[in-house]
Structure 1
């Protein structure tokens, strides 16, 4: 969500990683479909359509949201080429951190690990604040019961904790059901708009270059990229996949393409339903109800009600997905000696990193209690500030990952083709560097004001610095553990 706002001869593996025995205990039944469900759920497609597409339209001053999404899809497909090629050489579940470490060194990798944990952590809390508000609004509107938003936020975290503690298949099934339902309701709205011909006939104006160039397209692009966050989590689940060397690449491409195509088609329908010539003004005037009103107008009032309820379940699925990602990051880092070893324990009953999940839940609950006690507004402060921090951190990690892919295949291993090792990663690097520059230049807009931007941006910088310092301390005090950080990289001739 955004702010409201493949190959050569057989591989020779390096010495076993210290957490190998733990990995062997993990459930290994996830197929392509299960991973795709969890990753796409993290993108919260219904939430993007209802909450974010109007924001993208209003803040960019353009009806070009479909093009923004298509451009983001192309860039992320380029990113996925190097990302998935790297996954076969770095066979652990650290994703961004593992690849950055393999390509740029253990210090930078450790900084990336800390940055990833903080970025996903604050994103979880930010979206959970939004979830509490959305739940409170639905219950109040339909049952006339007024309960404070933070009570719902805590309740959802407890439910997520139970699901995260158990076998990953349970989360996968829950997310799969919720995802199918929320996509179905958006498709119903899309079809209704097409059948009725939109506000003034269907056209391709939202896909035209003139529309794209109107307003401030750089802001639209920036927010469009944020709607894809979580797609890289395909690699985080590799230890629980049936055949990770095949499953992870397939799931990554399917996730990126399915998310991007869905966003582009559905946002085009929204532009046509509201009218390409007037959708910007409507989005600025009432972003919260733009899509919901279209549901009532083109479908029926009941469709609007269903969308409001499913917005809650969509956001819940998003938070659950982020919890699972954090749990597996912690599990992998603990196995490498970068976090307490207990976090690398695997439940013999659930075949899952249940201890890591339990700790992640405890930290989330404590963080939620802190921001609640501070009296932060759930939307303008918790959601806006923390999702802004996550935007900066995760795009920074993607830029570093592109650099790592290029350096790794230039200096340590031979990739299948120059396309995988240089051309696609370089194209992605250039594009994402531009996006990162846009985020930095517009960070005060992203989080609200310059003071908040300095504080939130400082948090992201401190997280990376702490990771760097941690690697230096480990190098001096535990050189054996420091040497093991890169123990599970597979080098192929």
Structure 2
């Protein structure tokens, strides 16, 4: 029996269409992690208010935790036959009502991140254009132009987005590799390469918890491989591989680059230099080791990196809207599939509309683009994302505990997920402890973030009770044991 969603009218559920290959999926996911944006933003902040020269170790630790997460995540993938990632896993592992609540939290978290990024993009475009002699326009005007462009691309087939994201990602990775190579081969101008990330005293200096927090934020979206399941070629083979490749690449990229940035500045001075001007640390290093042209290229690619990130999250949010509406958890009309592109076209338009409304509200309320609009929304998304990782890992453990008949090595179905759960729960505690920092020391916003996430999750049991025929899924047949059916968890 195939694992297709049961919908209330008994009709065949709608499916998206696409031919994404392995590397197209990797490009989409890694572009969402926005490598250059993270290297130019969160990494300098981790140096300044985290553990300085010990930051590279935090990326290694975070990468290890997320590899453990991926072990259980991909082990369960063959039994979750529907796109939806967090929603589908929680539904199958813990139960229908928890799954619904998880779906709403995922939608709120990713929508907040998607919308908030326009607050970072607008000023970045404005600064770049102004430096090139262009007009000095308000941030929101550049954000609206970008919103229209992203909306047009996101409306089309996912392969079209994949090509654009691949080009942008390759460009930003190359420029960072050029900087890494320049620092490595010059021996950091005689200072020698840093070894602080190997020294426990350095790793645990300063505020390692804050550095760990920034490291976790650099991986947002790595689970999104499963969101594109219906649009991928050979998903049972390509989705797990794309997940592992994405996690390992991101961890290695951030760890190596942050290590060489420390080397380029110097272990003894990295904290002070980063604290003095975190926003210019990357271009300053580029100018010092590569030249003025390199610094100018970094400024331009910083903008395209944010744009690539926004496009990835536009696609992810549109597919969450599609997935929830196809299961009667949002208005059914949002589950329309474009007859030519095979994309969630109506959902895509609604996502663009939601972002436009948010930008208008920000302007009307006079919010600062970065200090308030971006910071508040990304703070909400960060907390929500780690909650989703914790719930999903728990769902994996619960699923295999309930279905002991599935042949699977204990490391994949229990040991690795348990270890991941410990690490992710630690990250969740760190985010809660440092939530004020994430939202710009605003108590009202911090409380609002927690209330919104709790309210979104509680919608699951409420909607589940009010609409008992929504979001049900048929039993799943294991490929390894054809005679055994695995029923969906129900609550």
TM-score (norm. length: structure 1): 0.93
Match of 2:467 in 1: 474
Task: Tell me which of 361, 365, 370 is aligned to 1:370.
Answer: 361
Matched, 1:387 2:401: no
Say if 1:119 and 1:393, in contact at 8 Å, map to a contact too: yes
For 2:467 and 2:455, locate their aligned partners in 1 and report how far apart those are by CA, in whole Å. 18
What are the equivalent positions in structure 2 for 1:100-179 lying under 5 Å apart?
A: 100-179=90-169
Question: Given the alignment, which residue of 456, 461, 470 partners 1:463?
Answer: 456
2: distance between equivalents of 1:152 and 1:173?
Answer: 23
- Give the C-alpha shift of residue 21 in structure 1: 5.1
1:444 aligns with 2:441: no
Q: Which residue does the alignment assign to 2:315?
A: 324
Q: In structure 2, what is the Cα distance between the partners aligned to 1:94 and 1:61?
A: 36
What's 1:67 paired with? 57
Cα distance, 1:205 vs structure 2:
2.1
What is aligned with 2:474?
487
In 1: Cα distance, 2:5 partner to 2:146 partner? 38
Note if contact 1:78-1:427 (Cα within 8 Å) is conserved in structure 2.
yes
Give the 3 Å change call, closer, same or farther, for CA 215–20 of structure 1 in structure 2.
farther
Distance (Å, rounded) in 1 between the aligned partners of 2:3 and 2:36:
44
Residues 224-373 of structure 1: matches in 2 within 5 Å?
Answer: 224-373=215-364
8 Å CA contact retained: 2:4, 2:82: no
| 1:489 Cα deviation from its structure 2 partner | 4.4
Structure 1 runs of 4+ with >6 Å offset: none
What CA distance in whole angstroms lies between the structure 2 residues aligned with 1:63 and 1:404? 36
Determine if contact 1:126/1:387 at 8 Å carries over to the other structure. Answer: yes
Match of 1:205 among 196, 201, 221: 196
Aligned to 2:410: 418
The answer to whether 1:37 aligns with 2:27 is yes
Partner of 1:5: none
Contact 1:53 1:267 in 2 (8 A): yes
Contact 1:384–1:448 (CA under 8 A) maintained in structure 2: yes
Measured after TM superposition, the shift of residue 439 of structure 1 is: 0.8
For the structure 1 residues 66 and 415, does the alpha-carbon distance in structure 2 shift closer, same or farther, using more than 3 Å as the test?
A: farther
What's the offset of the Cα at 1:443?
A: 0.9
Q: Deviations over 1:35-70 (max 9, x none)?
A: 000000000001111112101111114211111111
Q: Structure 1 pair 101/378, CA: closer, same or farther in 2 (3 Å)? A: same
Tell me, yes or no, if the aligned pair for 1:64 and 1:212 is still in contact at 8 Å: yes
**Structure 2 unaligned residues grouped into runs of 5+:** 485-491
Aligned partners of 2:120, 2:307: CA distance in 1, in Å? 10
- Superposed CA deviations along residues 152-201 of structure 1, whole A, max 9, x for unmatched, are 11111111110010011110000000000000000000111111111511
**What is the Cα deviation at residue 466 of structure 1?**
2.3
- The 1:213–1:472 alpha-carbon spacing in structure 2 relative to 1, beyond 3 Å, is same
Which stretches in structure 1 are left out of the alignment for 5+ residues?
A: 1-11, 476-480
Deviates more, 1:333-342 or 1:189-198: 333-342
2:487 counterpart residue number: none
Aligned counterparts of 1:363 and 1:290: Cα–Cα separation in 2: 34
Q: In 2, are the aligned partners of 1:127 and 1:315 still within 8 Å (CA)? A: yes
1:420-458 residue CA offsets vs partner (Å, 9 max, x unmatched): 110000000011011101111111122122332112222
What's the secondary structure of 1:64's corresponding residue?
Answer: helix
